[in-house]
Amino acid sequence: MDRFLTLNSRIAFAIYIVADVVCVGMGMGVPIFCIGFGFFVGWYIALRAIRGASNVRQILRTVLVHAVATSVVTFMGLALLWGPTIQLLFDPGYDFANFGIPLILFDPRLSFVGWLALMIFISPFLQLLTTLFSSYLTLSVLLKEESSAV
């Protein structure tokens, strides 16, 4: 376990990028697995932050910076994946009903815009929230155990 937590930061980040791409691929472009992966990433970030920090403020700052970095990686990947489809919005003859997305809004064009907003912006934000939730839960448990042991 110590070897896993003492990985070089660049190697750990490279492993995360590969795992994030695999999660996007498993969801076939829908980042539901990336959002779930945020729980494990948050746990790992919290354990690494505790090992390298001296006070709680520094730990929380490290967790936030790392969680935002992982969310930015997912955002960039999804922007590369779904971004080229934005040009379809400017094609007046395109049939959005046959794109293959759920048409939950009344207009297929609005459903397409909502889908793109969900994929490109909201999903990485949800991943950020799951990562922060998991890391803060891990921190609260570990810091509570540490304070009760003293």
**Span 78-100, pLDDT tens digits:** 999 999 999 999 988 888 888 88
Domains held by the chain: number: 1
Which amino acid does the sequence have at 15?
I
Taking alpha carbons only, the member of 26, 28, 46 closest to residue 38 is 46
User: 99: which residues sit within 8 A by CB, 6+ positions away?
Assistant: 88, 108, 112
Contact 104/55 with Cβ under 8 angstroms?
Answer: no
Residues of the domain holding 71: 2-149
Report pLDDT digits (tens) over 13-70: 999 999 999 999 999 888 999 999 999 999 999 999 988 777 889 999 999 999 999 9
